[in-house]
Structure 1
C-alpha cells in the first residue's frame, strides 16, 4: 500500500483536475451555445420583421384595390406605389403588379385592357397549352425593363401556377418555390420568389368555371432574395453568423440564399430553424463566422486541466521521493547486514571450492601416475590436464562465476592443443551458456578429446580433419545440449582393446558430473563422439 500511495495520490488529484477542466469546458461550450442561439434569435427576428413589412405592404395594397373595387387606373396605382418609396423603405421588393385571369382564347379582351391602362400594344406571351391565362396588366414602379413584363402570362409557368391555384382558394398570401426572375424583363436573371394574393372580388378558381370578369385576378409581388435578406442581416450591428436559406418543400439542396461571410467550424454550433412564409416553409441554417467570439476562452479549461495534472505529478513525485528516502534508509541497514552474511558465505564457498579442486587434482594425479611409464610422461600429462582445469577456472573467474560461453570454452581448449590457427567453420552452433559444473567438466572433456585427436588422428597433421557442432533441443528446464565431435580422414580406425584414463575421465565428467550420456563410433573414416547433457 505504501508503494501505491504516490500513484493513488496522482490518480485522485488528476481525476479531480480533469473533472474540473471538463466542467469548465462543457460550461464554456454551453455558454457559447446560449450566446449563439441568442444571435440566431436576433437574425430570425430581423428576417421575420423584414418579411412581415413586405408582406404587410402586399396586404395593404390588396385592401387599397378592394376599396376601389379593383378599378384602380394605372396613374392611381402609380401614385400609390411612388408614395411608398419602395427603393428606400422596401429593399428586395422588385415591384407590385396585377394579373387578370381569362380563359385561353379571350386574349383580345386583355390586350384591350392593357392598351387602355398602359397605352401599349402588347401581345400575350408565351404560348401555352393551359385552359387559363393570367398576364401582367400593371406593374410598378414602372421603368423600361418593367414594361417588358406587361403581357407576360404567369399562369404558363408551372411554379407560379401552383402558387396562383392555391391563392384562388382563399384570401391568404401564397409564395412560389425559389425561381429565377428578370428573364422576361430583359435584365440578368436573379434568384428570388413571387407572392400572390387573390383580388377579393375574384371568385374561387375551378377548371369547369365559366370565364370570370376581366377584373378578376391576382395581386403579386416579386422579391430578389439577396437584396431582401441582406437588407435584414446587414443592419448594424452586424451579426457574426452565416445564413443559408432553403425551401424545404422542394427537397432541393440548392439554397435560395447564402450569405457572403464564410462559415467556420466551431464545435457543434450549428442551428437550423424553420419559418413559414406566405404558406411556404423555409429552412434557415445558421453557422458562426470568424467574427463570433465565445463568452469564455477554450484555453481556460485546457490550462486548468494542465495545471491540475502538473500539481498531481508534483505531489506524486514528492510522495515518491519521500518513500524512496525511507526505502534507502531501510536498504542501507539491510545491505550492511547482508554484506556480513555474504562475507561469511563467500569464505565457506571458497573453502568448498578449494577442497573440490584439491580432490580433483589428487584424483587426476593418481590416475595419471598409474598410467605413466616414467616421470616425464607423468609430468607432461599431469601438466596438460592442470592447464585445462586452469583454463576453465580462468573463464569462470572472468565471468564472475556466472555463465561461460560453450564456443569460447571449445576455442580456448583447442588452441591449447592445436595452437591459434583454428580454421573458420571448425566450430558451429548456437550460443550456449554453461554453469560452473558444466564448464569444468566439459573443459577437461574437450582437452582429452583434443589430445587424443592430436596423438592418434589425422588432426595431428591438419586441424581441418576435425569438426565440432552442437544444437539445443527442448525448452525451458527440459533443454538438452547435443554436441557432435567428428574426426575424419582416418584409415582403418578400430575400437581400442582397453580403456585409458582419458576415456574414463570423459565418461565420469559426462555421466556422473553432468548427468548426461556419451557414445562413440569408431568408423573406418574416423571417430564420431556424441555427447548429450541437460542444460540448467
Structure 2
C-alpha cells in the first residue's frame, strides 16, 4: 500500500508540474505571437504608408497636369518629376506618366503618334491593335530610361485588367489599382509581376468616353504609375533586417488569389506561425501572409524551461525523500524485529542455562551418590569424584569456547586423555575425520572417554609402556542418518577377573551412550586387551 501511495504522490506532483509547464509554454508562446503581431502590423503599416506616399505623388501629378492644361510639355513634366526625386525618396515606383485618351481610329492614332514624335523625337506607332472604341495611350513617362522608353505608345485601354482599373477610376474620381499584370517594361529575362495606379485628369463629366481627337497634352486621360511588385515590397522590407520576416502578398480582389510577391524563404507548409493581414490598395484587396524569418530572434522559453526544471527537481526530491522515509521506516521495523528476536533469544538462553544448570546439578548429585556407594574411604571418594567433575568441566570448557554450539571430537579425546595419562596420552593413536559434536554428545562422550581412560590406566599396564591404545572413528550412513562409529582398542595385559563386574563407571557410560544419545555400545574383553565399539547418531 505504501509503495502505491508513493507512486500516486510522485505522479500527482509530476502531473502538476507538467500542467504548469504547459501553461507557461502557452503563455510564452502567446507572448511571442503577440510580439510578432506587432512586427506584422508594423510591416503592414509600412506597406500602407509607402502606398499612400505613392498615391499622393500620383494625385499631385494629376493636379499638375490639370493645372498646366494645354501648356503641358515633356520638358515641364520632366522637370516636375525630377523635383519629386523618385529614385532616392520613393523606392518601388517605376515612374510617373500620363495616358492620353483618344478615339480608336486612324485619325486618333495619327494624332497620338504625332504627339509622341514632337515630344520625344521618337517614331513610335500606337500599339497594339484594339477592338475598343477608345484608347488610353502612354505619351509621358518619367524618368525616361530604356524600360520606360519601351512603354511609350502603348494603349493600356486595350488590355482588360488595365481597362477595368481605369474605368473604376473614372467612375469614382479616385485612384484605383489594377489586378496583377506584366508591365510592358518587362522586356528582359528578369521579369516581375506588377500593378498600376490610375488617377483621372480633365475627365468628361458622367462619361468615360471621349469623342474629340487630342491636339496636345492638355487632353483628358490619366496620371498613372507603374510598379514592379518585387521592387515595391523589397523597398518596404529594407527597413527590416535581412531574413527578419518571410512574406507573401496576394491580390485577393478577384475570384482567384494571385501572388504578387513572395520572399525566397517563404514556405507554404508553415501554417501555425503565419500572421494574415489585409490591405485595401487603391480599391484592391491584398492579403499579406507573414511569419518569422531565420534572423527573427524568438524569445527562448526561459520560464517554461525553468518551471519544467523545478517540477522535475521537485518530483525527484519528493521521490528520493519518500524513498529515504520508506528505508528509514523499514530500518526501524527491522531494528524492532531484531530487538524482539534478541529479547526472545536472551529469554531462551536464560531458560536453557537454567535447564543446563539443573541437569548438571542432577548429574553431579547422581555421580556423588554412586561414587560414595562404591568408595572404600573418603580419600577414594574424593579422588574419583573430583576426576569425574574435572571431565565434566573439560567438556564444558570446550563447549564454552565454541559458544555452546559444537565441539571437536579429536580435541575432546586429547583433553580427556591428557587429564588421565598426562601430556604423552599413553602413546594413544587417534585416527579419524573431523567431527563436530553437539552439546549433549560432548557432555556424554567427555564422561565416557574419562571413564574409559581411567579404567585403562587402572587395569592396563600402561605405566610400564607395554600397553598401547588406539582410537579410530568414521562416519557411516544408516536409515538416511549420519552415525559416528568409534572403536576404542586397548592392547594390554588385563586381569579380566577385576573388570568383569559392572561398576558405576560402566553404568555411567551405558547411561550416557544409550539413554542420553540413543546410541549403541559393545564391549569385547579378552586377556590381551579390550575392544569397545560405540555408535551414536550425529543428526
TM-score above 0.5, yes or no? yes
Asked if 1:177 is matched to 2:204, the reply is no
Asked if 1:318 is matched to 2:321, the reply is yes
- CA distance in structure 2 between the aligned counterparts of 1:75 and 1:59, rounded to whole angstroms: 20
Paired positions, count = 335
The structure-2 alpha-carbon separation of the partners of 1:264 and 1:288, relative to structure 1 and needing over 3 Å to count, comes to farther
Q: State the SS of the aligned residue for 1:139.
A: strand
Pairs within 5 Å for 1:59-70: 59-69=59-69
Moved more, 150-159 or 315-324: 315-324
The structure-2 alpha-carbon separation of the partners of 1:187 and 1:88, relative to structure 1 and needing over 3 Å to count, comes to farther
CA deviations 1:85-120 (Å, max 9, x no partner) are 221122121111111222221322322333333333
Structure 1 vs Structure 2 CA RMSD: 3.0
Contact 1:173–1:196 (CA<8 Å) still a contact in 2?
Answer: yes
Unaligned ranges ≥5, structure 1: 341-536
CA deviations 1:305-326 (Å, max 9, x no partner) are 2441342233134324423543
| Counterpart residue number, 1:492 | none
The structure-2 alpha-carbon separation of the partners of 1:176 and 1:243, relative to structure 1 and needing over 3 Å to count, comes to same
| Counterpart residue number, 1:225 | 229
Residue 210 of structure 1, CA deviation: 6.0
The structure-2 alpha-carbon separation of the partners of 1:212 and 1:218, relative to structure 1 and needing over 3 Å to count, comes to farther
Asked if 1:291 is matched to 2:290, the reply is no
Contact 2:170–2:203 (CA<8 Å) still a contact in 1?
Answer: no
| Counterpart residue number, 2:507 | none
The structure-2 alpha-carbon separation of the partners of 1:253 and 1:122, relative to structure 1 and needing over 3 Å to count, comes to same
- CA distance in structure 1 between the aligned counterparts of 2:124 and 2:240, rounded to whole angstroms: 45
The structure-2 alpha-carbon separation of the partners of 1:264 and 1:169, relative to structure 1 and needing over 3 Å to count, comes to closer
Q: State the SS of the aligned residue for 1:110.
A: helix
Contact 2:273–2:292 (CA<8 Å) still a contact in 1?
Answer: yes
Contact 1:145–1:186 (CA<8 Å) still a contact in 2?
Answer: no
CA deviations 1:194-217 (Å, max 9, x no partner) are 1111114444445xx561553111
Contact 1:81–1:140 (CA<8 Å) still a contact in 2?
Answer: yes
Contact 1:246–1:255 (CA<8 Å) still a contact in 2?
Answer: yes
The structure-2 alpha-carbon separation of the partners of 1:187 and 1:220, relative to structure 1 and needing over 3 Å to count, comes to farther
| Counterpart residue number, 2:56 | 56
| Counterpart residue number, 2:505 | none
The structure-2 alpha-carbon separation of the partners of 1:63 and 1:239, relative to structure 1 and needing over 3 Å to count, comes to farther
The structure-2 alpha-carbon separation of the partners of 1:120 and 1:92, relative to structure 1 and needing over 3 Å to count, comes to same
| Counterpart residue number, 1:304 | 307
Task: Work out which of the residue numbers 116, 126, 131 in structure 1 matches 2:118.
Answer: 116
| Counterpart residue number, 1:344 | none
Q: State the SS of the aligned residue for 2:182.
A: strand
The structure-2 alpha-carbon separation of the partners of 1:200 and 1:334, relative to structure 1 and needing over 3 Å to count, comes to farther
- CA distance in structure 1 between the aligned counterparts of 2:182 and 2:195, rounded to whole angstroms: 8
Asked if 1:192 is matched to 2:207, the reply is no
- CA distance in structure 1 between the aligned counterparts of 2:136 and 2:331, rounded to whole angstroms: 102
- CA distance in structure 2 between the aligned counterparts of 1:307 and 1:183, rounded to whole angstroms: 63
Contact 1:132–1:155 (CA<8 Å) still a contact in 2?
Answer: yes
Contact 1:100–1:135 (CA<8 Å) still a contact in 2?
Answer: yes
Contact 1:165–1:205 (CA<8 Å) still a contact in 2?
Answer: no
Pairs within 5 Å for 1:121-520: 121-183=123-185, 188-206=190-208, 211-212=211-212, 214=214, 215-235=219-239, 240-252=244-256, 254-262=258-266, 268-295=272-299, 297-298=300-301, 300-327=303-330, 330=333
Q: State the SS of the aligned residue for 1:179.
A: coil
CA deviations 1:46-66 (Å, max 9, x no partner) are 222221111110111111112
- CA distance in structure 2 between the aligned counterparts of 1:56 and 1:251, rounded to whole angstroms: 29
Residue 252 of structure 1, CA deviation: 4.3
Contact 1:171–1:200 (CA<8 Å) still a contact in 2?
Answer: no
Contact 1:148–1:184 (CA<8 Å) still a contact in 2?
Answer: no
| Counterpart residue number, 1:19 | 19
TM-score (norm 2): 0.56
- CA distance in structure 2 between the aligned counterparts of 1:265 and 1:144, rounded to whole angstroms: 40
Contact 1:225–1:257 (CA<8 Å) still a contact in 2?
Answer: yes
- CA distance in structure 1 between the aligned counterparts of 2:306 and 2:220, rounded to whole angstroms: 72
The structure-2 alpha-carbon separation of the partners of 1:238 and 1:299, relative to structure 1 and needing over 3 Å to count, comes to same
The structure-2 alpha-carbon separation of the partners of 1:245 and 1:144, relative to structure 1 and needing over 3 Å to count, comes to closer
Q: State the SS of the aligned residue for 1:218.
A: strand
The structure-2 alpha-carbon separation of the partners of 1:71 and 1:261, relative to structure 1 and needing over 3 Å to count, comes to farther
Residue 127 of structure 1, CA deviation: 1.1
- CA distance in structure 2 between the aligned counterparts of 1:266 and 1:149, rounded to whole angstroms: 40
- CA distance in structure 2 between the aligned counterparts of 1:187 and 1:128, rounded to whole angstroms: 27
- CA distance in structure 2 between the aligned counterparts of 1:147 and 1:99, rounded to whole angstroms: 14
Unaligned ranges ≥5, structure 2: 345-539
